[in-house]
Amino acid sequence: MTTERHYSPADRLLLQADAALRTLLPFSGQPYRPSPAITRPDVEMNDDDARHVAGLMRINHTGEVCAQALYQGQALTAKLPQVRKAMEHAAEEEIDHLAWCEQRIRELGSRPSVLNPLFYGMSFGIGALAGLVSDKVSLGFVAATEQQVCKHLDDHLQQLPAEDQKSRAILEQMREDEQQHAESALDAGGLRFPAPVRFGMTLLSKVMTKSTYRI
């Protein structure tokens, strides 16, 4: 018979600090699944295409940094144990995306965004606040966020050069996973946010994408 371990508030803060370091430090997050890119051929792109793809992957990497922070913040303040576990499990799955994107960025001769710590802090605060309001709002925020991510991924898939099958494989798998996260959050009782809230989230996401494409 197994018993569930109960963490003190201090333990949880230390766990959050560890999660932040593993998210923000280079190559610190170990993926649970191998990158989908490993089965695709490595082709040479011209400099302009390589820079553009690196910018797109940098946006997606920062998006995964935000997702990690969001889930960790929500897990810290979630009221129901099952919701906390769901948030922590989703964060684990997002580590795959984080590692895949970082590896691809490095392969393209670039680096992740220097703004990642800023976006991590903002997203952690939003997630913690959503969890304090209610688990239903917290789950709804997950669903709305993942739906925004899916839109970004659809746009980026259209922008990828046809020959870049490595980046395409990564984004396609991310798209599938993010859609599943959104559906799971709604099925678990997440609130469907009204259009004005979703519009506000879209504006915030545009700030992130515009700033991290180059920086």
Question: Which residues are documented as binding site for Fe cation?
Answer: 64, 94, 97, 146, 178, 181
- Which residues carry a binding-site annotation? 64, 94, 97, 146, 178, 181
CB 35 within 8 A of CB 99: yes
**Cα–Cα distance, 95 to 83 (Å, whole number):** 19
Q: What six digits make up the tokens of 135?
A: 């688990």
Q: What six digits make up the tokens of 50?
A: 């390589």
- Closest by CA position to 152, among listed 204, 114, 214, 96: 204
CB 84 within 8 A of CB 75: yes
Name, in order, each residue with C-beta under 8 angstroms of 179's C-beta and a sequence gap of 6 or more: 146, 150
Task: Count Cα neighbours of 67 within 13 Å in the Cβ-side half-sphere.
Answer: 30
H or E, element range at 209? helix 195-212
214 torsion bin: left (phi>0), alpha (psi -120 to 50), beta (else): alpha
**Cα–Cα distance, 43 to 17 (Å, whole number):** 39
The position carrying tokens 């984004």 is 171
Single-letter residue type at 171: L
